[in-house]
Amino acid sequence: MLPWTSRSAARRLASATRAAAAASASAAARSPAAPSATRHEDSPLLLNDREEEPWQRRAARGEDVLWPDGRRLPTQQPRHRAKASRDHSGLTRQLLDFQHDTVNEADGDYDPFGQLKARFMDFKQRNYVENYSKYRNLAEQQTPEFMVVACADSRVCPTSILGLQPGDAFTVRNIANLVPPYEHGASETTAALEFAVNTLKVPNVLVVGHSRCGGIQALMSMKNKKDDSNSRSFIRDWVSLGKSARLSTEAAAGNLNFESQCRHCEKESINSSLLNLLTYPWIEERVKEGTLNLHAGYYNFVDCTFEKWTLVYRPGLEGGSKYAIKNRSTWS
C-alpha cells in the first residue's frame, strides 16, 4: 500500500490528467481546423495522433487525410516544392504589380532591347494596326498551312527567308533541324509535330536545312570513334540522332574533304528526317490518305539559294523503293 502522501499525490495527478483531457476534447470540438482523432472506416490514414504521425505532417507530405464524414482534407505540397512555388509566384506578382513606364529600361547603360522595342513598335503600327481584323481572328484560332522544322542557327530564320506571316506556319527549331524517329519518345520537336498534325491538321510539313550547319559538323566529327570524355554533352546526344545520315555520307562521299562531306550530310540528314516522320503512325496515316505532304528545303546562305523537294511515299509498292523525290526546284 502507498503511503498517505503518495496516495494523495497520485489522486492529484489523476485529477489533473482528467481535467487536461477534458479541456483538450472541448477545444477539439470547438475547432473545425483539425480532423477527428478517430479513424474513419474508409480513411487511408489513421487520424489518431497517438497511434500515427500527426495529421498535419501527413497533409504536408501530400498524403490523403479524411474527415469523419468522408470529406477529404486539402493536401499540401512538401516544403521544398512549396518554396519553389513561392519563388516563381513571387516573380509573377512582380509582373502583375508592374506599372507601365515606371522603370527606365536602359538605366543609362547599353540596352540590348532598344532595337527590339523599336522593331516591335514598328510591327505593331505597320502590321497589327493596319490589319487589325486579321490579328483579331488569329487571336481566336490558328489554321497554318505549314508545320516547319528548322535549325536554331541565328542565320536561318524561316520567317524572314520565306516571308512567313503570323498564322502561316507552326514552327519548331532545334540543333541541325533533326526529326527524331517515333521510338525516340518525347521532345519539343515530337510534341510540336503531334500538335501540328493531330490538332491543327496542317496539310504540309517542311524540314529546312542549311549550309555550314554547326550541328552537322559536330555529327560528322564524331565519326566512329568513341568519346573518351566522361562529361555529358547534350549536343553530342542530340546530333547522334543523325547517325544514319552520317554513315550514308561516309559511304557516298568518304573520299571528299571534310567540308564537302558536311555539305552532303546536310541534305542527307534532311531526307533522313523525312523518313523519320513516317515512323509516326498518325503522320504515316495522313500521308497515305493524301491529306498531308512532306517537303524538304535547303537554304544556302553563302549564295542565297533555296532548294525544295517533296517526298513521295508508296507503301504498297512491291519491289523497288517505297520512297522517291518529286517537284525538285532551286530558287536563285
The pLDDT, as a whole number, for residue 88 is 67
The answer to whether residue 242 is domain-embedded is: yes
The answer to whether residue 307 is domain-embedded is: yes
Domain housing 48: 27-91
The answer to whether residue 105 is domain-embedded is: no
State the sign of the Cα–Cα–Cα–Cα dihedral 234, 238, 244, 249. Answer: negative
What's at 74, amino acid-wise?
A: P
Q: Give the H/E segment covering residue 193.
A: helix 188-194
The answer to whether residue 187 is domain-embedded is: yes
Residue 295, domain CATH: 3.40.1050.10
Both 152 and 76 in a single domain?
A: no
State the sign of the Cα–Cα–Cα–Cα dihedral 196, 198, 203, 207. Answer: positive
The pLDDT, as a whole number, for residue 194 is 97
Q: How many CA atoms lie within 13 A of 124 on its CB side?
A: 6
End-to-end CA distance of the chain: 113
The answer to whether residue 324 is domain-embedded is: yes
Q: Is 214 in contact with 274 (CB distance < 8 Å)?
A: no
For the chain, what is the domain count?
Answer: 2
Q: Burial level of 39, CB count in 10 A (0-12/13-18/19+)?
A: middle
The pLDDT, as a whole number, for residue 292 is 98
pLDDT in tens, the chain (332 residues): 444 444 555 555 556 556 555 555 554 445 444 444 444 444 444 444 444 455 556 665 666 666 556 666 555 555 555 566 667 677 777 777 766 555 555 556 788 899 999 999 999 999 999 999 999 999 999 999 999 999 999 999 999 999 999 999 999 999 999 999 999 999 999 999 999 999 999 999 999 999 999 999 999 998 645 555 567 889 999 999 999 999 999 999 999 999 999 999 999 999 999 999 999 999 999 999 999 999 999 999 999 999 999 999 998 887 778 999 999 999 99
DSSP state of 99: P
The pLDDT, as a whole number, for residue 43 is 41
The pLDDT, as a whole number, for residue 55 is 58
The answer to whether residue 125 is domain-embedded is: no
Both 296 and 196 in a single domain?
A: yes
The pLDDT, as a whole number, for residue 89 is 73
Both 159 and 264 in a single domain?
A: yes
Strand, coil or helix: 199: helix
Task: Look at residues 48, 63, 91 and tell me which one is the last residue of a structural domain.
Answer: 91
Both 78 and 159 in a single domain?
A: no
The answer to whether residue 121 is domain-embedded is: no
Both 188 and 80 in a single domain?
A: no
CA gap 191, 182 in Å, rounded: 11
| Angular region, 295: left φ>0, alpha ψ -120 to 50, beta rest | beta
The pLDDT, as a whole number, for residue 145 is 97
Q: Is 176 in contact with 269 (CB distance < 8 Å)?
A: yes
